[in-house]
Amino acid sequence: MKRITINLSLIFLVMIVLVYGGYVWANKSSTSIEVPENIPKGSEITIRVTVTHNANNFLHYTQLLQIMINDKEVSRWDYTRGNRPEGAIFTKEIKYKVDGDIEIKAEASCNIHGSAGPAISKVLAK
Domain for residue 3, yes or no?
A: no
Domain for residue 16, yes or no?
A: no
Q: Which of 55-59, 93-97, 116-120, 121-125 has the lowest mean pLDDT?
A: 55-59
Domain for residue 91, yes or no?
A: yes
Domain for residue 9, yes or no?
A: no
Domain for residue 59, yes or no?
A: yes
CA-nearest of 117, 123, 103, 96 to 52 is: 117
pLDDT, tens only, 56-68: 888 899 999 999 9
pLDDT, tens only, 77-89: 999 999 999 999 9
- Place 94 in a pLDDT band, splitting at 50, 70 and 90: very high
Q: How would DSSP label each residue in 66-108?
A: EEEETTEEEEEEE-BTTB--SSSEEEEEEEEEESS-EEEEEEE
For the domain that residue 37 is a member of, what is the CATH number? Answer: 2.60.40.730
Domain for residue 111, yes or no?
A: yes
| Structural domains in the chain (count) | 1
Side-by-side strand order, sheet with 30-34: 30-34, 43-52, 89-98
Q: Domain residues for 76?
A: 27-125
